[in-house]
Structure 1
């Protein structure tokens, strides 16, 4: 679960020099690995990005990504931060997972149906999705290999209530990307970390990696913190290497992703209309009393 205990410099060098071109089947058309962070606002996604930059660059802490306020602007920018010439890391700054339309937005990002480094809008509606999906076909993204990373706060004590949604999310992420999400648990030093980790493993997560992020308040470099961050990145690349050990068909896989996303959005819209019809029927029933 935690990955190999290799010396820090070996893991860092492996990550820095990792290239899709040198894999047994070559890059197969992929040019970049995108580590897509997903999770509730305030769970430490931006801190994970900053920590990865700090550790991989092997330099003092710098804040590259700033946390998003839960009351933030309607339009935000989905920024990619380059870790190496091959690897970028991205925060899905517009959503908090588990609400179905927000999950649809996550899947759109994971399937490369949302542009990197472009403005993003909150509160998408069904028609918005359909329009933007059509627009993506004008310049489809076949070259990004997206690896989902679920960031979860160890002090969040509602995991039991989210179990069904998270299990579904883990399963559907694999359908959408080919990868079971890596789970990164922030605030490793919390007394809840071990329990949260075990719950995720029980739900089907294969890699659950607790980390303690660097911040402006806690910027002193520590061997244990560096190790956990490097294990996360190293394991992500091991997932990629395994995925790329099979022949891929990028266009067919993109088509399957699009079919999955369209069906998901359609089902959400139908459920929404059914719920609205039931609500109106209940209102009419009460008015007739």
Structure 2
């Protein structure tokens, strides 16, 4: 591990450890006047992309040792997460895991809406189609106007590099609705990046599509797992960079809510 990489890892660990809501603003008057007790980061994505493994990996990167806190599943198995679970990374940062969606279609939208704006999730299986997608987006717009409570401050879309059959343009309406409700687009994390079956041209095309959607922050990483959690400086660095960026985005959302009409941060 290079000295520069070690220094950056330590800097990020200190920044995350010392973080409190609003503190990423350097000037005190720019910070939210009534920040929440803790930053809440919501992870969303289909089944098997590694949301729970990401939580464990983030916890490992910020802490002294590996812990299997969130139950891990695999792309070929059913999701291990049966309900929303909150996992504190620090006293002031919490990550919220969610049930894996079978696809990035209707059910995914409903769950995301429920988390961000309190949209009712009836737990029924809904087939992906454009008409349903439009109805959910319209529902989010109605909920946004109703000024309900937001449960998260930063939305993170987790997508596996092994399953990039979806195009970035499929996420257009979802991204736009998140931006209209929070003032900021979601962060995207692409997992399983080092897998031998990953095709570079597919990754490149997907990232290009995200750039066209004005997604500023995309992180490609390989999670630590129960079977493979030997320290890797490159893994640690990407995980910490992504987590700290979540804090920066979350602070912007908190401030946005104070100066714009919208849902109230809990």
Kept in 1, the 8 Å contact 2:55–2:95? The answer is: yes
Q: How many residue pairs align between the two structures?
A: 232
**How many angstroms apart in 2 are the aligned matches of 1:199 and 1:98?**
16
Query: How many angstroms does 1:204 deviate by?
Result: 2.6
Query: How many angstroms does 1:159 deviate by?
Result: 2.6
**How many angstroms apart in 2 are the aligned matches of 1:109 and 1:254?**
12
**How many angstroms apart in 2 are the aligned matches of 1:247 and 1:158?**
35
**How many angstroms apart in 2 are the aligned matches of 1:233 and 1:164?**
25
- The match for 1:8 is 9
Query: How many angstroms does 1:156 deviate by?
Result: 1.3
- The match for 2:71 is 66
Which of these residues, 158, 162, 186, is aligned with residue 165 of structure 2? 158
**How many angstroms apart in 1 are the aligned matches of 2:12 and 2:101?**
32
**TM-score relative to the length of structure 1:** 0.68
The alpha-carbon distance between structure 1 residues 167 and 191, as it changes in their structure 2 partners (threshold 3 A), is same
Do residues 182 (structure 1) and 187 (structure 2) align? yes
- SS of the equivalent of 1:152 reads strand
**How many angstroms apart in 2 are the aligned matches of 1:20 and 1:27?**
10
Matches within 5 A, 1:129-278: 141=149, 144-160=151-167, 163-189=168-194, 190-192=198-200, 193-245=203-255, 248=258, 252-254=261-263
The alpha-carbon distance between structure 1 residues 72 and 238, as it changes in their structure 2 partners (threshold 3 A), is closer
> Where does the alignment leave 5 or more consecutive residues of structure 1 unmatched?
115-119, 258-289
The alpha-carbon distance between structure 1 residues 110 and 216, as it changes in their structure 2 partners (threshold 3 A), is same
Query: How many angstroms does 1:178 deviate by?
Result: 2.5
Q: Deviations over 1:182-231 (max 9, x none)?
A: 00010222343444333322333111110110002211011100000001
The alpha-carbon distance between structure 1 residues 102 and 150, as it changes in their structure 2 partners (threshold 3 A), is closer
The alpha-carbon distance between structure 1 residues 217 and 11, as it changes in their structure 2 partners (threshold 3 A), is same
Matches within 5 A, 1:100-139: 100-111=106-117, 122-123=123-124
Q: Deviations over 1:1-32 (max 9, x none)?
A: xxxx8711111110111112645234524222
- The match for 2:97 is 91
**TM-score relative to the length of structure 2:** 0.74
Larger radius of gyration: 1
The alpha-carbon distance between structure 1 residues 27 and 222, as it changes in their structure 2 partners (threshold 3 A), is farther
